[in-house]
Structures are given as C-alpha cells and as structure tokens.
Amino acid sequence: MKDLCVIGVGYVGLVTAAGFADLGNRVTALDINEERVRNLRKGILPIYEPGLEEVVRRNVQAGRLAFTTSYDEALSKAEFAFIAVGTPEGVDGEADLRYVRDAAESIARSMQGPLIVINKSTVPVGTGDWVSEIIRSHLPKPLRFAVVSCPEFLREGSALADFLNPARTVLGSMDHEAAEKVAQLHIPLRAPIVITDLRTAEMIKYASNAFLATKISFINEIANICEALGADVKEVATGMGYDPRIGRQFLEAGIGYGGSCFPKDVKALAHMASVQGRNPQLLQAVMDINEDRMRMVLEHIESLSGPFGRKDIGLLGLAFKPNTDDIREAPALKIAGLLLGRGAAVRAYDPVAMDAAARALPTLRMCPDPYALAEGADALVVVTDWNEFKQLDLSRIHKLMRTPNLIDGRNIYEPEEMKAIGFRYRGIGRGYDGSDAAAKRPADKARPR
C-alpha cells in the first residue's frame, strides 16, 4: 500500500484516484474547485462516467480515498503526486500550461519529504523538464524529488475500464529509479510497461492521439469518395479492418472527431512542429478534413429537407461521444449553432448531456425523449451514437415527424431498413443509400474501364 496524491479531479484525475485506491493504495485527491470537492465528499461526482460512482463510494468507505482542497493535507504523507489538471487549447493552438504551472508551484510549496511527481496531463514535449525547474525554484528548502511522465490513454465513456485494463503503460524520466518505482505502482494492471526518457514519453502521447485522429480523418475522406462513387464506407472499413496492419478500430466515418482531446492535441502537436520550423502537412490535412465535416452535415440536411428557414430540426445526441456528459468540442453544438444561424429552429435530446449543453447554448430547446424530439420535425440528425438510439421505435418516430428526413451522422442505421420504413435517409459515405450522388451516378461512369 502506497500513499498517493492526485491533483485535479476531472476525467483523468478522478479515475486515476479511484483506480489506484481500488488497487489497494491510500489516495488523497485534490482540486482547487471547492464545489467539486464538497460534492465528492457527499458522494456526488462532477462527471458522468459509467461505473465510477460505485468505485469511488467503495473506496471512500474503505478509507482508501479522500478528497481535499489543501495541498498541505494532500502531500503530508504522499510518496507520489500525480498531476492531472487540464491543458486546454491556448493561443495559436499552443497548449495552455497555466494549470500545470500552478500545480507544480503548489507542490513545491507544500511537499514535506521526498516526492515523485508524475505528470498525467497531456503536455508539450519538454514540459517535464520545465515542471522540474518550477518545483526546484519554488522549494522553500532543498528536498529530493523526481519528475516522471506517465501519459494517460483512457477514453471518456469507458474511462475506468480503460484505466484498469490499459493497452500499455508509458513512463518517461531522466531518473530511472523513480520511473521504476512508478512502474511498480502499475504492475497490478498487468500491461506492457515502456520506460523511456521524459521527452519521448510526452511525444508518445501526442503521436498516439494524432494517429487516431488521422485514422478518423482518413476514413472520412474515403467516405466522401464513397458518396461520390456509390460505395459503402462501412463495408470498406470492415474489408480494410481485417488486415491486422490496419485494424477495424477508429475507422467509423461520421461527423468528425470532437472532445476535449483530439482537437486540441492535434493542434498542439502541429504548433510544436511549426515552432521548430517543421511543416506538419499531414496534421494540417487531418484538421482540415475534420473541420469540413460540419459543412458536409449541413449539406446533407439541406439536400433532404430544403433551405433551413423555419425548419424544425432535431438533434439526437449532444455529447461528443456516447456514455459521457462531456460537450467540450462536441460536433452537436457546432451543428446547432450553424443551423440556428441559418434560421432553423433546433431542438435536441441527449440521455445525459442536456444540462451541460443548455448552459453552453441556452437557445437550444431540449426535449424529454427522442419521440418528443421527432414530433413535428422536418429532419432528425443522429449526432452521437448512443446505444439507446439504435433501439428506437423508428416506425413511431417516422409517424411523428412532419417530414421524415433522417440524417444518420454516425451510420447507426441500415439504409435499406430506413427506406423500408419510409424515411428519406442519408448516411455518411454510404453510396447506395439513395443519396443524390449515388442516384445520379451514371452506371458506365462508375464501372472500371
């Protein structure tokens, strides 16, 4: 049993704290947000994440997990301090490191003995050295410490499961002994452990996110071509995915990647490259393709339902992905904003993200369920692939709509089944779904010569 402090109780921090407590360690989780800490002490979580509430409750009851706003209290016995604060997008796409800096300064002021500081936040290459420098220059008296980078690879919506079953653990430090100690903490997770230097570990995180974002933009580009040529991108992805060198995951074409990480991390990596005089051409294309998805969705909606003025458009889903209430960089909010700007009346339903979305976009009308959303609508747009949308009574939805236009931004339905119900249906990159391009496709033009 080790004594750990986790700084920041957001998606990464709370999961890390609960996860390490569940592995038998004593964890104090700290946040400067007093309301979050007050609520956590009452068992109220600041985020929606499947399974997390139960693990938090169990470990609090067992005395292995506590919450505080005091750095002195959190660091009084800690041997390890994890930094898991936000690193949002700053000016020109650069990562904003103010929270990391504040955390490092506070650690220095409050640490009371030797400490291993582990950075879990996604930070630009070189930040570990900078954090070391901040701690050294703010220590009131000389104390031994080391900085280890341990990037986090969890996904929202399956964060706890990902934390407990990681594909790998990456550790980077100039202090090999410290990295080995951090490796010991991770051994119960039974994943391969890669130990490298600080900068390489920091780069592994950005390269991983950029690669996944690239896969998404790649398949979205293929989807565009499929639409024009009458091929089905879902089957293309399946056919490609059996090749182990390619893999089926992250080849879901749709309305593009959102969330608090891919958009900012691809930008931050491109920024790092540009600052060094390198030309991040591929990253730029990945971002451009993703940006273009919004225009594409609007075109699909307009081509089915006509000009937006006075049209009632319903959005199925607001969260940037299923199983989370996170709406940071959610495509739904961008689509809603664009539609409202063009005169449409926009309403939405999401199983958990409506409160957060209403705060971000107060003009968006919320509906209590998908059927209320469908009533009198001119078009429905699937924006988030929540499981509950896959099992809707679509005949009932069809009857409730004023005009049965269905734009499936996540390809969760089968085109033929939707047409059989009577919808005018448009998926993404599904060339034979009756889209204009496919319908107009001259047979001889599509045939290889």
Nearest residue (beta carbon) to ligand NAD: 10
Residues in Cβ contact with 195 at an 8 Å cutoff, skipping those fewer than 6 apart: 171, 172, 173, 176, 179, 180, 183
10 touches ligand NAD by CB under 6 A:
yes
Q: Give the whole-angstrom CA distance, residue 295 versus residue 370.
A: 25
CB of 333 to ligand NAD, least distance (A): 17
The alpha carbon dihedral of 353, 359, 361, 367 has a sign of positive
Q: Give the whole-angstrom CA distance, residue 135 versus residue 116.
A: 11
Looking at beta carbons only, is 78 or 95 nearer to ligand UGA?
95
- Helix, strand or coil for residue 423? coil
Q: Give the whole-angstrom CA distance, residue 289 versus residue 218.
A: 8
CB of 84 to ligand NAD, least distance (A): 5
Q: Scanning the structure block, which residue is given the tokens 């550790």? A: 171
CB of 157 to ligand NAD, least distance (A): 9
DSSP for 200-212, written as a single string? HHHHHHHHHHHHH
Give the residue from 15, 198, 25 showing the smallest Cα distance to 117.
198
- Contact segment (CB under 6 A) with ligand NAD among 80-88, 136-144, 174-182, 429-437 equals 80-88
Determine the longest span between alpha carbons in the chain, in angstroms.
80
Q: Which of 33, 68, 303, 403 binds ligand NAD (CB under 6 A)?
A: 33
Looking at beta carbons only, is 147 or 212 nearer to ligand UGA?
212
Token pair for 216: 């998404």
86 touches ligand NAD by CB under 6 A:
yes
> Rule CB under 6 A: which of 236-295 touch ligand NAD?
260-261
Q: Give the whole-angstrom CA distance, residue 354 versus residue 54.
A: 23
Q: Which helix (H) or strand (E) holds 57?
A: helix 52-61
Q: Which of 13, 317, 370, 427 binds ligand NAD (CB under 6 A)?
A: 13
Instruction: Give helix then strand counts, H and E, for the chain.
Output: 20, 14
Size of the site for ligand NAD (CB under 6 A): 27
Q: Give the whole-angstrom CA distance, residue 134 versus residue 102.
A: 9
- Count the neighbouring beta carbons within 10 Å of the beta carbon of residue 282: 12
Nearest residue (beta carbon) to ligand UGA: 261
Residue 258, binding choice from ligand UGA, ligand NAD, none, Cβ under 5 to 8 Å by partner class:
ligand UGA
What residues are labeled active site?
261
- Contact segment (CB under 6 A) with ligand NAD among 9-17, 269-277, 350-358, 383-391 equals 9-17
> Rule CB under 6 A: which of 152-211 touch ligand NAD?
152, 154, 156
Please compute, for residue 210, the number of CA atoms within 13 A of its CA located in the half-sphere on the CB side: 22
CB of 212 to ligand UGA, least distance (A): 5
CB of 169 to ligand NAD, least distance (A): 13
In the complex, which residues of this chain contact ligand UGA (CB under 6 A)?
A: 122, 152-156, 209, 212, 216, 250-252, 254, 257-259, 261-262, 320-321
Residue 121, binding choice from ligand UGA, ligand NAD, none, Cβ under 5 to 8 Å by partner class:
ligand NAD
CB of 219 to ligand UGA, least distance (A): 7
Residue 320, binding choice from ligand NAD, ligand UGA, none, Cβ under 5 to 8 Å by partner class:
ligand UGA
Looking at beta carbons only, is 74 or 383 nearer to ligand UGA?
383
Q: Which helix (H) or strand (E) holds 98?
A: helix 98-110
Cα–chain center distance at 273: 23
Give the residue from 78, 75, 84 showing the smallest Cα distance to 46.
84
Q: Which of 4, 52, 85, 383 binds ligand NAD (CB under 6 A)?
A: 85
49 touches ligand NAD by CB under 6 A:
no
Looking at beta carbons only, is 28 or 411 nearer to ligand NAD?
28
- Amino acid identity for residue 180 in this structure: E
CB of 13 to ligand NAD, least distance (A): 6
Q: What value does the CA radius of gyration of the chain take, rounded to a whole number of Å?
A: 24
Q: Which helix (H) or strand (E) holds 115?
A: strand 115-119
- Contact segment (CB under 6 A) with ligand NAD among 148-156, 227-235, 332-340, 363-371 equals 148-156
CB of 162 to ligand NAD, least distance (A): 9
Residues 118, 84: contact at Cβ < 8 Å? no
Looking at beta carbons only, is 256 or 263 nearer to ligand NAD?
263
Per CB under 6 A, residues contacting ligand NAD are 7-13, 30-33, 36, 84-87, 99, 102-103, 106, 121-122, 152, 154, 156, 260-261
